[in-house]
Amino acid sequence: MSSKRRVSYFYPPEVGHFYYGPSHPMKPHRLKLAHHLVLSYGLYREMECYRPHPATPQEMAAFHSDDYVNFLSRINPDNLRQYSGQMQKFNAGEYTDCPVFDGLFEFTQLYTGASIDGAIRLNNDDTDIAINWSGGLHHAKKSEASGFCYINDIVLAILELLKVHARVLYIDIDVHHGDGVEEAFYCTDRVMTFSLHKYGDFFPGTGHIKDVGAKDGAGYSVNAPLTSGMTDGTYEEIFKPVMAKIMEVYRPGAIVLQCGADSLTGDRLGCFNLSLKGHAECVKYTKSFGVPTLVLGGGGYTIRNVARCWAYETSVLLDKEISDDIPYNDYYEYYAPDFKLHLTPEPRENLNTEASLESVRSELLQQLQGLQGAPSVQMQEVPPEFDLQKEKNAEGQNDGGEGDDVRSDRGQTKDGGDSKVHEAEFYDVND
């Protein structure tokens, strides 16, 4: 198999303009930082770049309840009083970690549409790897916002992949447990979920090693509960053997990889101690199996490091070496004082002992050994895909074009500044 794989990149230009509010740790602005590193490193030249379609309420209702989607589409900061009862029911608004901010529904449409479009291109065999760093919001439930997540783009993308693939593997390397995705597929063997996360007095509180699935899905939820201080080496000691066993016994037709960057060293909310290379090793290893893969973002709250991580992982997916010196770009000052790409882990204790890691690893390998081979499914006629709306008339297939980084006047950005022209945003479709 050729190691050079076709990579598609989905970036909704407006997605970085939204603002959860002062002091809220989730900053969509990080997506602009990451995108500008992809541009300034020249990585966009190695990929097909797309402006994805905004997901419709009907698409969202493939997983979410109609009344919840309807609520999200109507709520805004000016009509909160009308919806006080529903806000409590759906876990949104003041006193929750899911605020109602200006443009909320549009934000969910953008990141969700990008994940669905990526899944469709994989289904059509138009690409081998689809990247959407704006996606990966893994905590959202069928009828409830949770953990900064409103619409679960991952579940919707997996449902799209299941139209073509009998089995889909979901991998989650965010520091938080991927509870929304696990819950959605807890009772089916058509999706296996594999999550490595901090467990114990930590949000969302789920992901115990004994939570293995139920009914037809018994054994198909794989949880690696870890504690603070995980290093590159210890993370790899869990990830690689378990992943190898999963691929041996489950043999998925497609993979969805959530690359939450809050497992990096120095994260504002996370407590692991991974370098970029340690985090990206999971991406590299997953890629080595040659299975069609949708790569998504997720958590990450030290935004300069989130951008570093996802730009570097884009280069890993492209097999492209990039410099440790960050190239000049619109957000260059964010990377002071060293202006380097890679991070040095903190000198802190790893509370995961060799014995505790061996216990987790052996229990998970035993769980996987007990599965009765890869489940099969009788495939019917493939349902129609959601329309993949592509406009082919702009630079770089609608990414990096003139209007791609125009900030709105609604006060959604943290800095409120004017957009600068970035030379790499103007390029020929033939570059």
Which residues are marked as active site?
A: 139
Q: Are 3 and 129 in contact (CB under 8 A)?
A: no
Stated length of the chain: 431
- Residue in 14, 12, 1, 8 with CA at minimum distance from that of residue 406: 14
Cα–Cα distance for residue pair 50/55, rounded to 1 Å: 15
Pairing of strands 129-132, 191-198: unpaired
- Placement of tokens 């770089």 in the chain: 396
With vertex at residue 350, the alpha carbon angle to CA 348 and CA 356, rounded to the nearest 5 degrees, is: 170
Q: Are 5 and 287 in contact (CB under 8 A)?
A: yes
Cβ neighbours of residue 260 closer than 8 Å, sequence gap 6 or more: 136, 138, 172, 173, 174, 175, 176, 297, 298, 299, 300
Cβ neighbours of residue 409 closer than 8 Å, sequence gap 6 or more: none
- 291 to 20, 116, 219, 247: CA distances (angstroms): 36, 18, 22, 10
Q: Are 117 and 52 in contact (CB under 8 A)?
A: yes
- Residue in 168, 196, 173, 197 with CA at minimum distance from that of residue 184: 168
